[in-house]
Amino acid sequence: MEKSYLKTLELEKILNRAAQLAVCPEARTLLLEQDAFETVEEVRYALSQTDAINSLLLKNGSPRFGGVQGVDKVVNRALKGGILSMAELLEVAGALRNFQNLVSWYHITKHDMLPVDDLFYALTPQPTLEKNISSAILSPEEMADTASNTLFEIRRKIRAMENSIRDKLDAIIKNSTTNKFLQDAVVSLRNGRFVVPVKAEYRGEVGGVIHDVSSSGSTVFVEPTAVVEANAKIMQLRSQEKSEIERILAAFTDQVASIEPVFNFSYQAMLNIDVLLAKARLALEQQAYMPQVADGMWFDLKKARHPLIDKDKVVPVDVALGKEYDTLVITGPNTGGKTVTLKTAGLLCAMAQHGLLIPAHEQSTVCVFSEYLVDIGDEQSIEQSLSTFSGHMKKITGILDNAYKNTLVLLDELGAGTDPAEGAALAVSIIEQLRIQGALIMATTHYSEMKVFALETPGVMNASCEFDVESLRPTYKLSVGVPGKSNAFLISEKLGVPPRVIQRAQTHLTNDDKRLDSVLAQLDDLKLQLKASQDEVEKAKAEAEHKLESARKKYDALVKQGETELEAARLKARQMAQQVQDEAYRLTDELRKLQKDEKTSAAQRAARAREIARKETEGLYGKTDVVHNVVKEFVPLKQVKVGQEVVIADIEQTATVMSLPDRNGLVEVRAGILKTKVPLSNLKAPDKLKKPANNGKPKPQPRSTTVQRVQRKASMEINLLGMTVEEALMETDQFIDHAVMNGQTMVYLIHGKGTGALRKAIHAHLRGHRNVKSFRLGQYGEGEAGVTVVELK
């Protein structure tokens, strides 16, 4: 496929934005170099993968995923015998941590088989190796004392020896005999040895080895004789330390080399997942959905939006091609949206072929093209020179040479830049030839001859971009089936051109022109009438569907309520039966005791028995109150915003607003991976956003008990920055409880470094927490001292 369409349709900008959302540099390169998929099966599979990751992002949040680069080459170097540095081993540990975090993220929620299963199953975490490397290597330049017992012992000896040397040098500095020879009362290091600064004129007064001289020559740095042997021992220990570090690095390198086959396989899967995550994040940013992919050569885009136009300004368009007609001729005034419509259709189809979800209604359909042949100028001007016409014709020649079946041809201002009569004739002829070659065609024009051609030719359809003559502004709405009018006379009159000039201009129109204008006007009227009728039908249909859905929900709710109450009654009956049995045994024991009581008369025993029976009977009847469900009242939202979190009142389901209310008052929402339309009057704010009523006084609660389940999106981390200790501990408890209920085994608490007060309070709290197995500070690449990693029971 020829790639000039990437720039002409501005797909380059879309792909570059997606690449910015990838984490790993190699994934960005992989995304930008990815060619368009060329078969229906490939496109469907690619779109389904992006959509699956998009759904996981919505349910699980974003995974903890650090950027790594070239780690596969590091592992290959280890396989060839090279010793890896501490920095390289930390990169390997970072990649292994990514494998583990991605697998954990994937399993946060239960789901059926997904088209990305093979990528996540290809990830093979090595938790032991990752933990050992992260524990042993603190930074690219520092290895932990605990990396090995030998290293720990060597460093212990070094510290002890250094302390001994410092004590001896401190004694020299404090000695009244020698301190007068010193430049300063300090101990410093020169060439790895501890020295004292001696005035140059007294260099012979302090015995030892001179290791350095100050730039001015006034100070010599002397290693006193008393510490020469100890310094030499330290140098020997430093050499042993270096050898031990090299041994540890070699051992880690061997372990890394042993996992090379599975590591490289996992690493490539990680990069592919990163690419899909970038595409899914772009879809969320653009409010995009997965379209259907047609088997044949046709597409039908509903409410399509150009992704590079401001969301608040873009006007969605419905545009279709290939099913009922193979050619669409778009006419209308300048700046009316003709070119944007052309680009939107081509761009969205091309995006889908690159595995990107498209900013259009989910019922949209795209098809797979083998070529995108485009002639759209970068600039539109009123005066076009011969050179512009020549440039267009050169492009047209190339399009005619390469257009065939499965090709989409987009032509902007076809035939412009030359004599109108000749240009119109050329435009008609070019369209006819492209249709013979089997291409699908969209073209914009101002020529009336093209409008007539479209009216008279089967398979060719007129369309127009509407223009508001009152405000003199385009509406950017596409009307299919009706050719557009230039409205030159009406616009000129609105702009103040004298009426006599306009009347004289109208006399110069030919009869054919007048008849065409009359026909177009009649078509416009018919179109408006038809649209009004369709709107009424759609409104009635939407109301009927809404009533049916509402009735179905109420029926389901009643059935569920009945089942719940029946089960509650059965449970109550079982409990009462057990109670009656227990009470019967107890009463029997009471009566036996009364009978054995010789001091009580028979009448007294009978009265006592009747009293016991009466009280127990009343107690049992008092426990048989019927429990009724409490139907909560709510205040419906008056308006919503796209992206706002709401609750569907009659089913208490949290959802996200995907579009503003339509003319029927229906709002499209997404609950999990399900999307539906509900009335605005059935939406309420989540409980956490409601303001307290009654001036803060508690509202009386009904006697019956209602249990509410609050669904919280599973996440692996919580940000506690800026909170007080009390707030942070409360949020931490709630977060850990939800994590345990979601089956998570590890979470991250982000508290920052600061003074450490918040961290200490959290650690003290975690030590006694019932659900905490262990915790530690973040390691290199995890946020270090600003993050606490908690392992849950």
Residues in the annotated binding site for ATP:
332-339
Q: Which of helix, strand or coil describes residue 90?
A: helix
Which residues lie closer than 8 Å to 287 by C-beta, 6 or more apart?
311, 359, 642, 658
What is d(CA 651, CA 273) in angstroms, rounded to the nearest whole number? 35
Beta-strand runs (E) in 376-449: 407-411, 440-445
CA distance 301 to 299: 6
339: enclosing H helix or E strand: helix 338-353
Contact predicate 365/29, CB 8 Å: no
Longest dimension (CA), the chain: 133
Q: Which two tokens stand for residue 431?
A: 């369209």
Integer Cα distance of 490 and 499 in angstroms: 10
CB atoms within 10 A of CB 511: 7
Distance CA 11, CA 29 (A): 16
- Dihedral sign (CA 483, 486, 489, 493): positive
Q: Residue 654 pairs with which residues in a beta bridge?
A: 647
438 Ramachandran zone, left/alpha/beta (phi>0; psi -120 to 50): left
- As a 3-state breakdown, the chain gives helix, strand, coil percent values, each rounded to 5, of 50, 15, 30
Q: At CA 381, angle to CA 376 and CA 385, rounded to 5?
A: 90
DSSP assigned state of 107: T
* b/e map 34-54, b = 16+ CB within 10 Å: eebbeeeeebbebbbbbbbbb
Among 222, 224, 271, 313, which residue's Cα sits nearest to residue 99? 271
Q: What is the CA radius of gyration of the chain?
A: 40
Q: Tokens 């003074």 appear where?
A: 755
Tokens of 530: 């038809």
**Beta bridge mates, 730:** none
Strands 371-375 and 327-331, sheet pairing:
unpaired
Exposure letters 85-94 (e unless 16+ CB within 10 A, then b) = ebebbbbbbb
Collapsed DSSP state (helix, strand, coil) of residue 733: helix
Annotated binding site: 332-339
